[in-house]
């Protein structure tokens, strides 16, 4: 199995087309103060799945101290692609993340409780940035 994970400021699944629409891809995020709640959208892509097995998918994000800042429920997934395609699935999640400190926050994609991909998001606090100028 191959996996990738991306974090965006917004997004949605378009069932009529069977596609996802993504907003801005986030590498860094500036927030005015802490704590601060931000809605985020994650898209996970799993490829080369067994065409008959089911898997449990979850995303957990951690702050720099290893504390959980958001976690999704586990979702059961299985191959959703046709026989002419590479077996896999795209799955998305909406999050409301409470950021309590600046630094690198790691979003981890777990499949069957194993980390298969991660995405670092740098969080900066604007009021702290102004103090250091």
List, for residues 62-87, the tens digit of each pLDDT value.
Answer: 999 999 999 999 999 999 888 899 99
Domains, the chain, ranges and CATH? 2-131 (2.60.40.2550)
Helices (H), the chain: 126-131
Q: What is the pLDDT of residue 132?
A: 55
pLDDT band with cut points at 50, 70 and 90 for residue 51? confident
Task: Tell me the pLDDT band of 131, cut-offs 50, 70 and 90.
Answer: low
Q: Averaged over 12-21, what is the pLDDT?
A: 93
Q: Could you give the CA distance from residue 84 to residue 10 in angstroms, rounded to a whole number? A: 31
d(CA 3, CA 46) in angstroms, rounded, equals 5
pLDDT at 119: 98
pLDDT at 133 over 80: no
| pTM score of the predicted model | 0.91
Question: What digits encode the pLDDT tens for the residues 18-47?
Answer: 899 999 999 999 999 999 999 999 999 999
3 state DSSP class of 131: helix
CA angle 44, 11, 51 (to 5 degrees): 30
In this prediction, residue 50 carries a pLDDT of: 83
């Amino acid at each position: 199995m191959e996996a990738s994970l991306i974090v965006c400021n917004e997004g949605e699944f378009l069932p009529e087309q069977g596609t996802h629409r993504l907003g801005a891809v986030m590498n860094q995020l500036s927030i005015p103060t802490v704590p601060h709640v931000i809605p985020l959208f994650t898209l996970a892509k799993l490829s080369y799945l067994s065409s008959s097995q089911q898997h449990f998918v979850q995303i957990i994000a951690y702050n720099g101290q290893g504390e959980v800042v958001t976690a999704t429920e586990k979702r059961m997934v299985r191959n959703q692609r046709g026989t002419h395609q590479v077996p896999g699935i795209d799955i998305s999640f909406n999050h409301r993340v409470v950021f309590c400190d600046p630094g690198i926050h790691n979003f981890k994609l777990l499949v069957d409780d194993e980390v298969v991909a991660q995405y670092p998001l740098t969080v900066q606090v604007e009021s702290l940035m102004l103090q250091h100028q």
